[in-house]
Amino acid sequence: MNPAFPSAVLWDLDGTLADSEEYHWLSWRDAMRAEGVELTYDRFLASFGQRNDRILGAWLGEAADATRIRRIGDWKEAEYRRLAEARGLTPLAGAREWVERLHRDGWKQAIASSAPRLNVETMLHVLKFDGLIDAMVSADEVKKGKPDPDVFLAAAAAVSVPPSRCVVVEDAPAGVEAGRRAGMKTIGVNAKSPLAADVYVRSLADLPPDAFERLLTSA
* Domain ranges, ordered by start, for the chain: 8-19+90-217, 21-87
Identify whether the C-beta of residue 206 lies closer than 8 Å to the C-beta of residue 95.
no
Asked if pLDDT for residue 47 goes beyond 80, the answer is yes
Q: Say whether pLDDT at 90 is over 60.
A: yes
pLDDT(1) > 80 = no
Between 3.90.550.10, 3.30.1490.190, 3.40.50.1000, 3.40.50.2300, what CATH number should domain 8-19+90-217 receive?
Answer: 3.40.50.1000
Q: Compute the average pLDDT of residues 111-139.
A: 94
Torsion of CA 64, 117, 167, 84, to 10 degrees: -90
Is it the case that residue 92 has pLDDT exceeding 90?
A: yes
Question: Is it the case that residue 64 has pLDDT exceeding 90?
Answer: no
- Considering only CA atoms, give the Rg of the chain: 17
Q: What is the mean pLDDT of the chain?
A: 94
Fold of 21-87: DNA polymerase; domain 1 (1.10.150)
Per the residue annotation, which of 12, 150, 171, 198 is the catalytic one? 12
Separation CA 47–CA 52 (nearest Å) = 9
Contact 11, 170 (CB under 8 A): no
Contact 161, 155 (CB under 8 A): no
Dist CA 53 CA 192 (whole Å): 26
Active-site position among 14, 150, 171, 198: 14
Burial call 106-143: b when 16+ CB within 10 Å, e when fewer:
ebbbbbbbbbbeebbbbbbebbebeeebbbbbbbeebe
CA dihedral over 125, 215, 19, 44, signed as positive or negative: positive
3-state helix, strand, coil in the chain (%, to 5): 50, 15, 40
User: Is 93 buried (19+), middle (13-18) or exposed (0-12) by CB count in 10 A?
Assistant: middle
Average pLDDT on 157-168 reads 98
Residue 12 bears catalytic tag: yes
Q: Is the peptide bond before 147 cis (omega within 30 degrees of 0)?
A: yes
Q: Judge contact between 197 and 176, C-beta under 8 A.
A: yes
pLDDT at 219 exceeding the cut of 70 = no
The DSSP element (H or E) to which 136 belongs, if any, is strand 135-137
Rounded CA gap, 100 and 112, in Å? 18
Report pLDDT for 63. 81
Average pLDDT of span 72-80: 96
Q: Which amino acid is at 129?
A: F
